[in-house]
Amino acid sequence: MSTYNGEKYLEKQVESIFSQDWPINELEHELSLFIRDDGSTDSTLSIIERLSSKYPIALAKSSGMNLGYAKSFLKVIEEAGDADWYVLCDQDDIWGPQKISSIFPEMRLDSTTPTLIYTDMVHFGKSNVRQLERNGADPQLFTDYRKALFEPRLNGNMTTINHELRKLVLEIWLKDGASEQCKAHDTFILRVASLFGNVKYVNVKDPSKVMLYRVEGQNLSADKKNTLFDKFTFFLNRSRVFNERASFCSFIANINDLERSMPQERLIFVKSVGKLSTSSRLYKFVHGFTFVRYQKNRIFKFAFIFWLASRSMKNV
């Protein structure tokens, strides 16, 4: 968990983390909470200190330095030390009692392949509103590496990663130029998992028993864009998103020592997308059409074509 001025909701979140529906600490697995504070100026640190006497909570040594939420999350993943699995957690949500038990069967499978597991969740006060459906996404969308690469994001608080994926994420993150590719930690982690390992979706009957997502709280990455103007602005911002995807693929394709870790078909795909950053105008437009089918719906497909056309007019 990365915290920042989270005094209002933090304690309830921590209580929910240690209120799971199965006796984790009585089995072969233990649950502990590792927190990095990103320079809070309220009572967040004192709350963490008080809760640490009740629960197995550790505070990262780098706490106090403000890095921004994305880099702070990657930093806490780095400093958390060795574990079998790492569950990403926001400071203001509420874990349902089945947060761990719902994904535990997948956690007990192959642990040698970099793996990301995700589930759905519901919004506070809107028990029928599922996050993935709200975003117009097929819940299985992120299991296809080609679609996952273009999708805006998979919320980090829905994801769990294993030890092997953590090592790979940190290895890539420490490469020169990687920080420029990390606008959001959850997007960065999903891309790495999609290209080098497995992404698994666990379908749960009642996501409210897995997690409640606080959109209107202090969640620093929550999407509050509800007006028509905001949606129009979001559409225009897709150009930035597509630029980032092409830049990321170009970055990954040029890390020679990672090629051996990526399946051949994925490597070919990455290099192909990366060419959208460097190829000629005509090639960008014609070649880019092969990726239209990987956009999640008609609006996103139209936005991608618009991006291809505008990019092909520029000498970039």
At 274, give phi and psi (nearest 5°): -60, -30
3-class state of residue 59 by DSSP: strand
Give the Cα separation of 292 and 294 in Å (integer).
5
* Residue ranges with strand state E in 8-59: 33-37, 57-59
Q: One digit per residue, pLDDT tens: the chain, 316 residues?
A: 999 999 999 999 999 999 998 755 555 678 999 999 999 999 999 999 999 999 999 999 999 999 999 999 999 999 998 999 999 999 999 999 999 999 988 988 877 899 999 998 888 765 567 777 666 567 778 899 999 998 877 899 999 999 999 999 999 998 888 878 878 899 999 999 999 999 999 998 888 899 999 875 444 454 444 566 666 676 667 777 888 888 899 999 888 777 668 899 999 999 999 888 777 777 777 888 899 999 888 888 888 888 888 777 765 4
Cα-only R_g, the chain: 20
Which has the closest alpha carbon to 210: 131, 107, 133? 131
Q: Is 1 helix (H, G, I), strand (E, B) or coil?
A: coil
Cα separation, 296 vs 138, in Å, equals 8
Separation of first and last alpha carbons in the chain: 39
Q: Smallest Cα–Cα separation from 213: which of 119, 139, 149?
A: 119
What is the 8-class DSSP label of residue 138? Answer: -
- The pLDDT value recorded for residue 261 is 80
Give the tokens for residue 197.
């390992």
For the purposes of burial, counting CB atoms within 10 Å of the CB of 142, is it exposed (0-12), middle (13-18) or buried (19 or more)?
A: buried
**What order of strands is seen across the sheet that includes strand 33-37?**
2-3, 33-37, 57-59
Tally the C-alpha atoms within 13 A of residue 129's C-alpha that lie toward its C-beta. 10
Q: What angle do helix axes 44-52 and 10-17 make, rounded to 10 degrees?
A: 30
Residue 277: per-residue pLDDT: 75
Helix (H) or strand (E) run with residue 107 in it: helix 104-107
What CA–CA distance (Å, rounded) separates 63 from 61? 5
Per-residue pLDDT at 231: 62
Q: Kindly provide the b/e burial profile for residues 187-220, where b requires at least 16 CB atoms within 10 angstroms of the residue's own CB.
A: bbbbbbbbbbbbbbbbebeebbbbbbbbbebbbb
Handedness of CA 61, 179, 245, 69 (dihedral sign): positive
Give counts: helices (H), strands (E), the chain: 13, 11
pTM to 2 decimals? 0.87
